[in-house]
Amino acid sequence: MSEFKAPLRDIKFVTEEVLNIHEHYANLSGADEATPDMVSAILEEGAKFSERILAPLNRVGDEQGCTFNDGVVTTPDGFKEAYAQYVEGGWPSLAHPEAVGGQGLPESLGLMVTEMVATANWSWSMYPGLSHGAMNTLESHGTEEQKQTYLTKLVSGEWTGTMCLTEPHCGTDLGMLKTKAEPQEDGSYCITGTKIFISAGEHDLAENIVHIVLARIVGAPEGTKGISLFVVPKYSVDANGEKGERNDLSCGSIEHKMGIHGNATCVMNFDGAKGFLIGPENKGLNCMFTFMNTARLGTALQGLAHTEWSLQNSVAYARDRLQMRALSGPKAPDKAADPIIVHPDVRRMLLTQKAFAEGGRALIHYCSLLVDKTKKGTDEEQAEADELMSLLTPIAKAFLTETGFESANLGMQVFGGHGYIAEWGMEQNVRDCRISMMYEGTTGIQALDLLGRKVLMTQGATLKRFTKIIHKFCKEHKGNKKAKAYISELDKLNSQWGDLTMKIGMKAMMNKEEVGAASVDYLMYSGYVVLAYFWARMAITAQEKLAEGTEEKGFYKAKVQTADFYYQRILPRTLTHAEAMLSGAGNLLDMAEEDFLYV
């Protein structure tokens, strides 16, 4: 009974009116084809595909799941046909270089389409999503031969890709991995080991699957310094670039999971499979970060997708569901009760989802413009964009998935008991969303990366790159009376962000455990401030449109009202995070291990 409507109006508001994407494309090398008419046409077609083809398969995928039979994985009904239409429409090639068969359009345009696809059906979207990361890795680090052999087929969508990182014993600690790579006389490597949690590792959508695999070359150093990266195809490739013999790898099983049933999460066994080195020996993690950063931004998008889906369905339900009367008097006197959307607490839940969906959309698409610059900008633009992305990627991944799960739960709560019933789809959304806070690095791992590596290890230089942007914005709008409430609060929090960082840094000089103790609160604080910046930008844009006399008064007025809600009801959460992060490591680590549990 759930439905999805592509949020085209809001995507265009964020990208065109707030982020000035058409000016961005006009100044971006090689983006000549990304004209306003072309962008609009692509978005319209992407919306149709998402709404008409993918959304109806969302529940099908959850109910049927993937099936496993002696190494063969079959996807749910309709998935294979939908993928064939996706390939026929040219969607996989949208944002990849023309030299390898792509259309050469900007990454940011591809991400707008991906947002709609992902929200319509997250499980299905993971199949082409993993391919996108494999493409970026080969594009950045592969040889010309590897690009022509594998990348062209991935770009066309004929083949799909995966990333094979973790193993049963190592989880996030990849320095412990045991998969080995033995050099062969022909220049290839014999890959042996077991990888787990491999999304889209085996399926029936494409004729070949290209695995990007981390392994240790025999004799390489222990730990992360001895890890290399390999391309290992399911089927070898013959001299004509076509699928050849089956490689020595197989799917040992698929996981029985809480959610995302429509995507196969596989145990992959490499039993002497032939692979080829990507990039330099022992630099596999450096190369893999191209894939991982793509995946982390994609996972941030998952948080947004589940928030948007929850918002759309809970708003529709709240408009129709009749329960009780408003305390101030009947709002629908001709009916047996008022629709629940009139009640303050229901409004709180809906507005929280709306604030996270629309604020998260602004953050995601801002990051996508930075990705454009890292690939096609000037040297100076690339350096700045790289530094900003290094700061914003862990924030986007962790914060948007945490708030995405909060939103999915709020959507389920709006439905009351009906939210717990499968037919409405709200409990599926909660289950599908839950994994997002764990894969591609848990919230705790992202927080350590943010505070430890990106902020403290750079002596705050990376953070200052972004806080200067906020400071400049606040200074520019200081005299704007209508925006005073946003600007004064944002400016205060921006300064506090730097002060908190300095205090934690000083504490960490005395005790390194202070970094881990403060990190998650620090990340969440950072996320709320970042969204406050984007909500201020959106509110000011909306105020300007209203002052001009727009015909869409309701749309822009709602933007201002949601900004007010965010600043008054959600942003105060920063107070708790600030107190918690400064409380010290003692309240976490002083208790003896044996005192945790008495049985």
Q: Looking at residue 15, what DSSP letter applies?
A: I
End-to-end CA distance of the chain: 46
The residue among 370 and 288 whose pLDDT is bigger is 370
pLDDT tens by residue, 17-40:
999 999 999 999 999 999 999 999
Which residue among 107, 387, 440, 489 is the active-site one? 440
Q: Which range is least confidently modeled, 290-294, 455-459, 504-508?
A: 290-294
Instruction: For helices 513-548 and 379-414, give the axis angle rounded to 10 degrees.
Output: 90
* Residue 177 amino acid letter: L
Asked whether the beta carbons of 217 and 86 are under 8 A apart, the reply is: no
Residue 61, both tokens: 């995928």
pLDDT at 28: 95
Q: What is the 3-state secondary structure (H, E, C) of 452-511?
A: HHHHHHHCCHHHHHHHHHHHHHHHHCCCCHHHHHHHHHHHHHHHHHHHHHHHHHHHHHHC
User: What pLDDT is attached to residue 1?
Assistant: 66
The angle at the Cα of 142, spanning 136 to 147, to the nearest 5 degrees, equals 80
Residue 290 reports pLDDT greater than 80 = no
440 has catalytic annotation: yes
What pLDDT, in 10s, does the model give residues 544-581? 999 999 999 999 999 999 999 999 999 999 999 999 99
* Amino acid 251: pLDDT: 98
- Higher-pLDDT residue of 3, 462: 462
Q: What is the mean pLDDT of the chain?
A: 96
What band does 451 get if pLDDT is binned at 50, 70 and 90? very high
In the chain, DSSP finds a helix count (H) and a strand count (E) of: 20, 11
Give me the pLDDT at residue 19, please.
98
**Residue 321 · residue 339 · CB < 8 Å:** yes
pLDDT digits (tens, 9 = 90+) for 128-148: 999 988 998 999 999 999 999
CB atoms under 10 Å from CB of 32, counted, come to 11
Per residue in 455-488, pLDDT tens? Answer: 999 999 999 999 999 999 999 999 999 999 999 9
- Angle between helix 344-376 and 284-320 (nearest 10): 150
In the predicted model, what is the mean pLDDT of residues 74-98? 97
Task: State what percent of residues in the chain have pLDDT above 70.
Answer: 99
Do 1 and 424 touch, CB atoms closer than 8 A?
Answer: yes
What contacts 439, CB < 8 A, 6 or more positions away?
A: 197, 199, 299
Instruction: Report pLDDT for 440.
Output: 84
| Res 291: pLDDT | 62
Nearest to 174 by CA among 297, 302, 299, 291: 291
Does pLDDT of 497 surpass 80? yes
Q: Say how far apart CA 192 and CA 178 lie, in whole Å.
A: 9
SS (H, E, C) 234-289: CEEECCCCCEEEECCEEEEEECCCCCCCCCCEEEEEEEEEEEEEECCCCCHHHHHH
- The CA distances from residue 526 to 323, 351, 400, 485, in Å, are 38, 21, 12, 19
Residue 414's pLDDT band, with cuts at 50, 70 and 90, is very high
pLDDT at 533: 98
- Quick check: helix, strand or coil at residue 212? strand
pLDDT(513) > 70: yes
Residue 20 contacts residue 36 (beta carbons within 8 Å) = no
Q: What's the DSSP call for residue 75?
A: P
Residue 241 has pLDDT above 90, yes or no: no
Question: What are the b/e assignments for 105-125, b being 16+ CB within 10 Å?
Answer: bbbbbbbbbbbbbbbbbbbbb
* Tens digit of each residue's pLDDT (9 = 90 or more) over 371-395: 999 989 999 999 999 999 999 999 9
Q: How far is residue 441 from each of residues 64, 153, 196, 367, 526, measured CA to CA in Å? A: 28, 29, 15, 19, 18
Q: What percent of the chain has pLDDT over 90?
A: 92
Digit-coded pLDDT (tens) for 248-260? 999 999 999 999 9
Q: What is the rounded average pLDDT of the residues 446-459?
A: 97
Answer yes or no: is pLDDT of 6 > 70: yes
Mean pLDDT, residues 32-55:
97
Contact of 370 with 389, CB cutoff 8 Å: yes
Tell me the per-residue pLDDT of 325-376, one tens digit each, with 9 for 90 and over: 999 999 999 999 999 999 999 999 999 999 999 999 999 999 999 999 998 9
Confidence check: pLDDT of 295 > 80: no
